[in-house]
Amino acid sequence: MASDLPPLRIDLGERSYPIVFSGSFDLLADAARPCVAGRACAVVTNEAVGGLYGDAVCAALEAAGGRAQRFLLPDGEERKNLRTLECLLEGFARAGMSRTAVVVALGGGVVGDIAGFAAAAYMRGVDCIQVPTTLLAQVDSSVGGKTGVNLAAGKNLAGAFHQPRLVFINWNTLATLPPREARAGYAEVIKYGIIADAPLFEQLERETPGIIAALCATPARVPAALGAIIRRCCAIKADVVGRDEREGGLRAILNYGHTFAHAVEALTAYGEYVHGEAVAIGMHAAARLAAGLGLCDAALVARQARLLEAAGLPTAFPALEFDAVLAAFGRDKKSRGATLRFVLPRRIGAVEIIENTDMTALRAAIAPGGGSMHQRARR
């Protein structure tokens, strides 16, 4: 099976699976055939993405011997909840989907998380294929098997680990992303440079202005370099997940910035920031906290902030009550009882997990005015 870039493999024993990279959907039929031939395929998507790519994906599944049927989800993080999950599961049941059905998630992170959780729950588990169409989903949420929905108390508090059988990444779907979503997804790209790959970070410092300009142009273009960058991010995640599938230790580094981000999202009712914007704010807060604790120098904070802002991302923490933020931190999945845990940078390319940090330093790290907020208003 050829691809435009070499495939990767998530090495998890009997749960191992490939990540296929291509500039089109031409390879999807061959990639999907081993897990869809002779089976019903529930293609879960939303109206916008389904209108753009639903026909091509369904045709590929049919060519692979599957029987495709579409299920539409409402769009938006605020609809990533138990009610939407219930409606999707009821839809599977009404359609007569059996235990041999395959759920195919076609869309961004919200679609992938809900569809993956539905696959984990329906009839106690059916197979899933992830076909991510946003930058955030391609470099992060589609890989690794984390699925879930939000509760009123916090983000992704209900979910399951459910590894897909295949992740198929067509990076040219990024040409149809709204500019805000393109910029937001780029936060996760920058994250990988900070946590594990200094040369990647340096490459992003050189190439980000051109990449963002191309993605946000009218019409948008997907720069040739971006496919390889996406693959590099997936390779980092594949290595981490292969060593720590269920976040017993190492995998927590993939949540750099996310403890802060989840608090921001929850306390602004998932309506003020899209996820990648909140992650950018969270990464800046994490770097400020690390500098305040003496773990890294101010130069790291400044370099990261410049790169985030070059991507058009916000960095300033919003004006939220400290006690409310602290309570949200306590509900974060990385916390252990009363022990708060933060992923903080030591240097570009290396982070570590710190527990129960100094409250004065934490308060200073999330004080308003520590970054730029003007990008947040862009649409």
Active site residue 374: no
Q: Which of 188, 265, 277, 309 is catalytic?
A: 188
Nearest to 283 by CA among 344, 335, 229: 344
Q: Residue 224 burial (CB < 10 Å; 0-12/13-18/19+)?
A: exposed
Which 3 state secondary structure label does DSSP give 109?
A: helix
Residue 21's DSSP bridge partners are 5, 169
Structure tokens, 234 = 């997936």
Task: Quote the crossing angle between the two packed helices 322-330 and 258-267, to the nearest 10°.
Answer: 120
Nearest to 369 by CA among 320, 329, 318: 318
What's phi and psi for 29, nearest 5 deg? -60, -50
Q: Which of 94, 124, 206, 379 is catalytic?
A: 124
Active site residue 9: no
Q: Which of 39, 46, 80, 146 is catalytic?
A: 146
Q: Which of 77, 245, 247, 265 is catalytic?
A: 247
Active site residue 80: no
Nearest to 255 by CA among 277, 231, 233, 279: 279
Q: Which of 39, 262, 288, 341 is catalytic?
A: 262
Active site residue 191: no
Beta strands in 34-174 (DSSP E): 40-46, 67-73, 102-107, 127-132, 146-151, 154-161, 166-170
Active site residue 77: no
Active site residue 247: yes
Active site residue 356: no
Active site residue 188: yes
Q: Which of 162, 251, 288, 334 is catalytic?
A: 251
Q: Which of 258, 333, 334, 341 is catalytic?
A: 258
DSSP 8-class letter at 156: E
Q: Which of 46, 255, 265, 288 is catalytic?
A: 255
Q: Which of 275, 333, 341, 376 is catalytic?
A: 275
> Which positions are annotated as active-site residues?
124, 146, 188, 237, 247, 251, 255, 258, 262, 275
